[in-house]
Structure 1
Amino acid sequence: MSKPCILGLTGSIGMGKSTVAAMFAAEGVPVFDADAAVRAMQGRGGALIPQIEAAFPGSTDADGVRRAYLGERVFGNAAALARLEAIIHPAVAAERQAFLLEHAAAPMVLFDIPLLFERGGADQVDRIIVVSAPPEIQRARVLARDGMTPEKFAQILALQMPDAEKRAKADHVIDTGTSLAETEAAVRRLIAGSKGCC
């Protein structure tokens, strides 16, 4: 039985990845959003709450993970971050596998994975799509977010593979520094050209 062509979508912070993922979904491509899966598992009644609370006492309450509190505990602390990732990553992998089974008959699926290269997930997809925009546009988008500071932006960038390296490793690059209409047209062209990519 043929399996779906798996497209991996990634890109640095502020590059428009979520917007592009929504465009794929609007074209009928099933999208697995790794961040959304994590939010669900960390939300009220989420499957990971007991493990996270055990590893980081006081980091959860009735509504789930206290994200700001947990973020302060792990941000800039490599050992704590590794402990958290050891809880989250296997759970996300299981969710992704379930998603693949659910959409086994689809011609293609999209994995929206922010740290695709950084966490070694590139070998799990058939084609890699990187979203990219000029640095000044990226910076303006990120600094417009609530609670974001230039220092925090710099710290996040330091944890991510540089945009130029991501583009060099990509099978496809989608420029999000253009108009939404131009980006949508690029998405449609990519979908049309990716049929039967496996």
Structure 2
Amino acid sequence: MSFRLGLTGSIGMGKSTTAAMFRELGVPVWDADDTVHRLYAPGGAAVGPVAAILPEAVRDGAVDRDALRAAMKTDPDLLRRLEAVVHPLVAADRAQFCRDHAAAPLVVLDIPLLYETGGEAGVDAVLVVTTDPETQRARVMARPGMTEALFAQILARQVPDSEKRARGDHVIETKTLEQTRASVAGLVQSLTTGGHGDA
């Protein structure tokens, strides 16, 4: 059975970049966001259940995420009902991924809202990626369509970075690519040679 490392971090902390570095080292990486995109795509397993809850959110055989977001603004209970159908599908996909890669010494489960959804119960250890607030803000504000209000709204839904770092088993600073890459390599080495201490 593989060692399951949960990867998480607040928006703009460098999680996608860090996940890519694990992939470069040959570590299988499961991505929660990619999984939701697949489930919402034409033919995806979530399209039917979402259509049953909100028919107008399905267009051309796929779930329209903009329509979902718009509907959530007027129906505060919608998110809970959607999560009730989508979360089990995501969990099943993650379990299948772990079975498919059972021979790998290490797998990474990239879960942005790991602590927010209690996902730490399903992993052997948690890696939190972090950087200073100035770098985080600069990265996020450079994204297309990002506004200060939206950034504040996203942060309000996430467990604070300080709490994530306190709860994580491993913490990697993502200030520079070189530093991040070296930290990732060191952690992979540690976790695949039986030493599960802090990197």
TM-score with structure 1 length normalisation?
Answer: 0.94
Partner of 1:47: 45
Q: Distance in 1 between matches of 2:112 and 2:73?
A: 17
Q: For the Cα contact (< 8 Å) 2:8–2:114, is it kept in 1?
A: yes
- Name the SS for the 1:58 alignment partner: helix
Q: For the Cα contact (< 8 Å) 2:29–2:110, is it kept in 1?
A: yes
Per-residue Cα deviation, 1:110-143 (whole angstroms, up to 9, x for no partner) = 0000010000011111110001011111111111
Q: Distance in 2 between matches of 1:132 and 1:33?
A: 18
Please say which of residues 134-143 and 17-26 is displaced more in the overlay: 134-143
- Name the SS for the 2:185 alignment partner: helix
The answer for unaligned runs of 5 or more in structure 1 is none
- Name the SS for the 1:36 alignment partner: helix
Q: Distance in 2 between matches of 1:190 and 1:169?
A: 17
Partner of 2:133: 135
| Match status 1:107 vs 2:101 | no
Q: For the Cα contact (< 8 Å) 2:47–2:61, is it kept in 1?
A: no
Distance 1:183 1:75, change over 3 A: farther
Task: Kindly report structure 1 stretches of 4+ aligned residues shifted beyond 6 Å.
Answer: none
What amino acid maps onto 1:126 in structure 2? D
Q: Distance in 1 between matches of 2:150 and 2:75?
A: 14
Partner of 2:77: 79
| Match status 1:182 vs 2:176 | no
Q: Matches of residues 7-156 of structure 1 in structure 2 within 5 Å? A: 7-62=5-60, 64-74=62-72, 78-156=76-154
What amino acid maps onto 2:101 in structure 1? H
Please say which of residues 4-13 and 43-52 is displaced more in the overlay: 43-52
Q: What is the Cα deviation at residue 75 of structure 1?
A: 5.2
Q: What is the Cα deviation at residue 99 of structure 1?
A: 0.5
Identity of aligned residues (%): 51
Please say which of residues 43-52 and 87-96 is displaced more in the overlay: 43-52
The answer for unaligned runs of 5 or more in structure 2 is none
Q: For the Cα contact (< 8 Å) 1:75–1:81, is it kept in 2?
A: no
Q: For the Cα contact (< 8 Å) 1:7–1:108, is it kept in 2?
A: yes
Q: What is the Cα deviation at residue 81 of structure 1?
A: 1.1
Q: What is the Cα deviation at residue 30 of structure 1?
A: 0.5
